[in-house]
Structure 1
Amino acid sequence: MKAIVGIARIFVGIFFIISGFIKMNDPVGFSYKLQEYFGEDVLNLPFLQPFALGIAVFVVIYELLLGVMLILGYRKKFTMWSLLLMIIFFTFLTFYSAYFNKVTDCGCFGDALPLTPWQSFWKDVVLLVLILLIFIKGKYFKPLFEPSSANKWIVFLVFIGCLGFTYHVLMHLPAIDFRAYKEGTVIREGMQPKEGEIIPPIHDFGFYNREGDDTDEILEEEKVLLVVAYNLSKSENQGWSKIKSAVQKAEKKGYRVVALSASGPTETNQVKETYGFNFPFYFTDETAIKTIVRSNPGLVTIEDGVIIQKVHYNDADDLELK
């Protein structure tokens, strides 16, 4: 039994560390998933949606730390109770989503490993069984290092590392891009479904305006600078100021500059007037825009239909232009 509990402890700990790190790599994406859960048609907690990013940051750091604490055997009662309560909540949430078909992807592993609602639920059931085993047989839960102060400092250093990494990806972009719009992606190929799949990796995407669909025309351009802002009313004012110089440089170097947003003409005209932009705004699905780049606004360079570079508005000066 001691060996079984030890294996369960290592497995659950590593699982929580990996799951927490993947979401920590993209806390903005995880916050979008939380907003979906908080929606009126799911948990009906819309008052929490404005705080989704803060909650996302707390959850991912807490999840990773629990994995580390479990492996180290640090703060035994606190760790076991935290794990048990967290997995009970997630098991309920994934069952609710699966049974009522509310959320198609739990976001447990971000975009790295999309899971169906039922796959998410059964994954949580397995974790619940293992955590219950660890909880019930807690006498075998011993600290990994002695004295225990060593474990405390390890947890503290991991916590500081988590804070630093999370701040970095929030101020820039995810360190690892698992999404369908990662650099090097051939957009036309991504718009074709893979073998055995119905929905292609890139869908609900295009460049639409009142005149029609300019997607093919833009993807055939040699050099395009794409300004991305899924919702102009939620975009950062300082972001527009920072990307303005990058837009001007791109125009001088012969780039076709266009913007993508899910906002209406009133908001787009206001942004153009405020910052003196003369490039056209195209409309496309908001979810697709959120997936392209985790920055509102953000910049993407496309050459002959291939995504070359993506940058956060904080890194607009680092944009490489031919």
Structure 2
Amino acid sequence: MKDKNLHIIQKIGANVCRFLLAASFIFSGFVKAVDPLGFQYKIQDYLAAFGMTSWFPSFFPLLGGILLSAAEFSIGIFLFFGIKRTLSTTLALMLMIFMTPLTLYLAIFDPVSDCGCFGDAWVLTNWETFAKNIVLLIAAIAVFQWRKMLVRFVTLKMEWLISLYTIFFVFTLSFYCLDRLPVLDFRPYKIGQNIMQGMSIPDGAKPSVYESVFILEKNGEKKEFTLENYPDSTWTFVDTRTVLKEKGYEPSIHDFSMMELSTGDDITEDVLTDMGYTFLLVAHRIEEADDSNIDLINEIYDYSVEHGYKFYCLTSSPEEQIELWKDKTGAEYPFCQMDDITLKTMIRSNPGLMLIKNGTILNKWSDEDIPDEYVLTDKLENIQLGQQKVRSDIHTIGYVFLWFVIPLVLVLGVDILIIRRRERKREKRKQQQEMKEQ
């Protein structure tokens, strides 16, 4: 009796831990899959912090990020359905054995601000992440040890179909969001966000003090300057970064600053308070930007000039790279320099296009989805493109959920029919056997 009770407790504990791990892995893998470039940037931060950037080819952060997010999501689904039990529990345990000491190191030495385990959807401190991983490591050990007690929701004959579909789904989702834009935007520059409001600080709150540092070069010598001692035009821009000088209340947007290249003026407030439309072409590194759709970008600039709208290209690249871009693409639009991390946060495309009005983000497009002359048929005031795009995260999550769940429900339905058919056959054979015995 005692052994039976112990077995029941172990079985319940194993399945509770199994669902805890499944929820964590599914959520973690999903939020990374919908923002593959964001996870790529986080991996790049890790490699830079550990001095390992040169160890890997340039494509590794993106490819590694997509593979890891797919692995996490798939492991979570496998655990949820109780399939591939040896594989899923072993991989879950291996990941937690690797991640737990890593997050302890991050918590102690703080080489990166957060681990990025849940992307931008849920940002945890390094110590919070370590505590979370301790719990998940204990759960992973229990699930691995008692993996034979995990309750299966599908038969062995159907688990391969669910496994293949799960892997296909998560890779398709990642590559779609990479080609377009993340279907869910967890960043402060989402559509509908007012940038000025995102930069505001509540009354009485002490703000953090930031300083823009500009790295300039002259006669082979590089120096750092701030806005207070910005030199004359004989210096060549190399890079810029935002430095935290004093910690305080931190608004969701704290490093949005547009410095026009031709004049050296900060035009941030003028742009964000303009009641008209402004197109912002975002290319965080202009030398790495895709120029395959440059004709469309130039057409939108011509459209902006024709109708009196503002158009700026925002980049963190040095002036010589901007000049090369102009020569290569025939770009005539004005350029502004901005912090590289800010630009990566604004839009997950290089280049990408944003439309704002009075500081509010009305729409965003990836390089592959830039509007053309068939859409820009009139002034923005008179067409749908000039209105704020309506987005609902709940509806988006619902659509993605249905795309994933409906095929699985069909598979489970087939599985149930097969099981019932087998039971009927067994019952029929049993009845026939009983009749023979009589």
TM-score class normalised by the smaller sequence: over 0.9
Return the match for 1:27 from 36, 42, 47.
Answer: 36
Question: Does the CA contact (< 8 Å) of 2:32 and 2:69 recur in 1?
Answer: yes
Instruction: Write the letter of the residue equivalent to 1:267.
Output: Q
Deviation by residue 1:214-254 (Cα, 9 ceiling, x = unmatched): 11111122110000000112211214344233332233232
Q: Distance in 2 between matches of 1:248 and 1:90?
A: 51
Which protein shows a greater Rg?
2
Q: Distance in 1 between matches of 2:201 and 2:348?
A: 24
Question: Does the CA contact (< 8 Å) of 2:362 and 2:386 recur in 1?
Answer: no
Q: What aligned pairs does 1:109-258 form with structure 2 within 5 A after superposition?
A: 109-146=118-155, 148-193=156-201, 198-209=249-260, 210-221=263-274, 222-258=276-312
In structure 2, the CA distance between the partners of 1:160 and 1:211, relative to structure 1 (3 Å rule), is same
Question: Does the CA contact (< 8 Å) of 1:250 and 1:321 recur in 2?
Answer: no
1:48: which partner in 2? 56
1:72: which partner in 2? 81
Task: Return the TM-score normalized by structure 2.
Answer: 0.70
CA RMSD of aligned residues (A): 1.8
Question: Does the CA contact (< 8 Å) of 1:295 and 1:313 recur in 2?
Answer: yes
Give secondary structure in 2 for the equivalent of 1:216.
Answer: helix
- Name whichever of 26-35 and 270-279 sits farther off: 270-279
**Higher relative contact order (CA closer than 8 Å, sequence separation 6+):** 1
Q: Distance in 1 between matches of 2:159 and 2:190?
A: 38
Deviation by residue 1:144-189 (Cα, 9 ceiling, x = unmatched): 222x121111111121111221111011000011100001111111
Give secondary structure in 2 for the equivalent of 1:110.
Answer: coil
1:37: which partner in 2? 46
Q: Distance in 1 between matches of 2:323 and 2:137?
A: 52
Count matched residues: 320
Instruction: Write the letter of the residue equivalent to 1:217.
Output: D
Give secondary structure in 2 for the equivalent of 1:238.
Answer: coil
Question: Does the CA contact (< 8 Å) of 1:24 and 1:57 recur in 2?
Answer: yes
Structure 1's unaligned 5+ residue stretches are none
Task: Kindly indicate whether residue 109 of structure 2 is the aligned counterpart of residue 58 of structure 1.
Answer: no
1:308: which partner in 2? 362
Instruction: Write the letter of the residue equivalent to 1:310.
Output: K
Question: Does the CA contact (< 8 Å) of 2:284 and 2:350 recur in 1?
Answer: yes
Q: Distance in 2 between matches of 1:94 and 1:193?
A: 32
Q: Distance in 1 between matches of 2:165 and 2:352?
A: 32
Structure 2's unaligned 5+ residue stretches are 1-9, 207-247, 376-384, 388-438
Task: Kindly indicate whether residue 115 of structure 2 is the aligned counterpart of residue 106 of structure 1.
Answer: yes
The percentage of aligned residue pairs carrying the same residue is 31
